[in-house]
Amino acid sequence: MRVESRISGPSSGAWPWGWWLLIPIGLVFAYPFLWMFLSIFKDNQEIFQPMSLMPTRWDLEPLRRLLSGEWFPFWRVLALSLCMALGQSLGAVMLTSMAGFAFAKLRFRARALLMLACLCTVVLPRQMLVVPLLDWVNFIGLHGSVWGVMFPGMASGLGILFFTQAFRQVPDAYLEVACIEGATEWRAYWLLLPMLGSCLLSYGLIHFILAWNEHLIPLVVLKGDAQQTLPLALASLYGSSLRFPYAALMAGSFVAMIPPMCLFLLSYRRFRNALSQIILS
């Protein structure tokens, strides 16, 4: 007796109904970004009409004035923002991964209390911490320096909680084998670190986006227009005058989206895998 099994399904080349549903949803989410890009070529009157998508004429003069540094040194501010965000994210990945390894694999006094302190830094508003943070930055002599913004940002309670959960997924057998072979805790940390490549890249991307969009700490620590970050420089232009071409603000905002967007596209697969592993654990 011959048993034939047939699996019914859509014919090859046919789109499932879910894809047709995603098309209008994608257009809804893409409309604000498309409107922002097209607003680069509009005047103020057209920008204040959000339902008008296409510009009446394609004017690149506001973009040229922005890139030429007429309102602020655009390229210097962009380079400073990139260096600060990249440096802060790299430092945060190293510090928080070491702390996460200690919380996940080591046993020491006041462990629960320190974990509670990390949780408080996540749930408490940044405005509550800015005064003691400013006093600490003044005490160590980093007020007005980019290091005064980068060092506080490297200590992240969110990163500690993230890597604590990530290191808990690594079997203790690896750590026990390393200790039997005579490795110290520091050496064991470096041996386990390559296993969390996706988590390192994912949190680096998350922290880069947070550092890139940070307003409060750079506002109270940095001095002068020459040390502005790109979000602060754009915020200083917003609402300055109705005669100001808002197309330049749209152009700067669109440029500000490019670095996080590029990093996300490059690390999307690992970012998705790392988050799925941590959420499902």
Domain harbouring 146, CATH code: 1.10.3720.10
Q: Are 175 and 271 members of one domain?
A: yes
Write down the pLDDT at residue 90.
92
Query: What pLDDT digit, counting tens, does each position of 31-45 carry?
Result: 888 888 888 888 777
Do 141 and 28 have their domain in common? no
166 in Cβ contact with 100 (< 8 Å): yes
Tokens, residue 170: 């690594």
As a whole number of angstroms, the distance between CA 16 and CA 223 comes to 56
Asked if residue 134 and residue 28 are part of one domain, the reply reads no
Instruction: Provide the 10 A C-beta neighbour count for residue 237.
Output: 17
Q: Are 254 and 37 in contact (CB under 8 A)?
A: yes
Identify whether residues 191 and 262 lie together within a single domain.
Answer: yes
Cα separation, 95 vs 103, in Å, equals 13
Phi/psi for 232 (5° steps) reads -70, -40
Q: In terms of residue numbers, what domain contains 266?
A: 67-280
| 90 and 29 inside one domain | no
Same domain assignment for residues 73 and 89: yes
For residues 92 and 123, membership in a common domain is answered with yes
Indicate whether 257 and 210 sit together in one domain: yes
CA dihedral 180, 182, 184, 186 (to 10 degrees): -90
* Position 18 pLDDT exceeds 70: no
85 and 133 share one domain: yes
More confident residue, 9 or 74: 74
Identify which of 192, 188, 191 has the alpha carbon closest to the alpha carbon of residue 179: 188
pLDDT tens per residue across span 220-230: 888 766 678 88
Per-residue confidence (pLDDT) for residue 278, from 0 to 100 = 59
Whether residue 53 sits in one domain with residue 161 = no
Q: Is residue 243 a part of any domain in this protein?
A: yes
- Domain assignment present for residue 188? The answer is yes
Count: domains in the chain: 2
**For residue 2, pLDDT beyond 60:** no
Average pLDDT over residues 241-249: 73
Q: Convert the pLDDT of each residue in 146-179 to its tens digit.
A: 888 888 888 888 888 889 888 888 888 888 888 8
143 and 246 inside one domain: yes
Give pTM, 2 decimals: 0.78
Instruction: Tell me, yes or no, whether 30 and 130 share the same domain.
Output: no
